[in-house]
Amino acid sequence: MATNEKQDKNINEAALTPKSGQGGTLKWIIVGLLVLLIVGASVVGSAYFLTKATGGEKEKPAAGIPWPSDPLSFIVNLADEGGNRYLKATMVFEVQNPAALHELDMAESRIRDTILDLLSSKSQADLADSSGKQRLREEIITRVNGTTPTGRISRVNLREFVIQ
């Protein structure tokens, strides 16, 4: 019986120990899969961050439609003490909706009146720097959009802006 026990023990040990070459192959398969997973993740991550950094797949905002075809020109006295300064400004508006062009044409005299009132209320100090011009653009957009029910301008482009 002792021999039978020794044979059983040898058989059990042989079953538990892998044959040469079997464990090594499994190990290399797992390592290969891990390498493929890491390389794939890095490629996908790089592609994602590169398209995000360069702004890929983002659409540029559509350029507006200019209104009017002849730029609006204004010459006004500024609200400085003594009234010695004047402003000459020429501007064109941009609209996003082509249907707004007709409505803006019909309201042109009200738009000019509104802008004249706004420009003549400004002083030279209000308009001297770029932030003052940006505030003026925003005020013009607000006032012009208030004169028409649906015709909306989206941008004011200043072609001439001279303070004398």
- pLDDT, tens only, 78-89: 998 877 899 999
- pLDDT, tens only, 92-103: 999 988 888 899
Give the per-residue pLDDT at 29.
87
Chain position carrying tokens 């004398």:
164
Strand order in the sheet with 65-77: 65-77, 86-95, 155-163
Give the per-residue pLDDT at 124.
92
pLDDT, the chain, mean: 83
CATH of 65-163 among 2.40.160.10, 3.20.190.10, 3.30.479.30, 3.40.640.10? 3.30.479.30
What secondary structure does DSSP assign to 9-20, as a single string? HHHHHHHHSPPT
- pLDDT, tens only, 30-41: 888 888 888 888
Token pair, residue 19, equals: 């044959």
3-state secondary structure of 88: strand
Q: What is the mean pLDDT of residues 63-89?
A: 89
Cα separation, 108 vs 38, whole angstroms: 64
Cα separation, 142 vs 136, whole angstroms: 10
- pLDDT, tens only, 133-146: 999 999 999 999 99
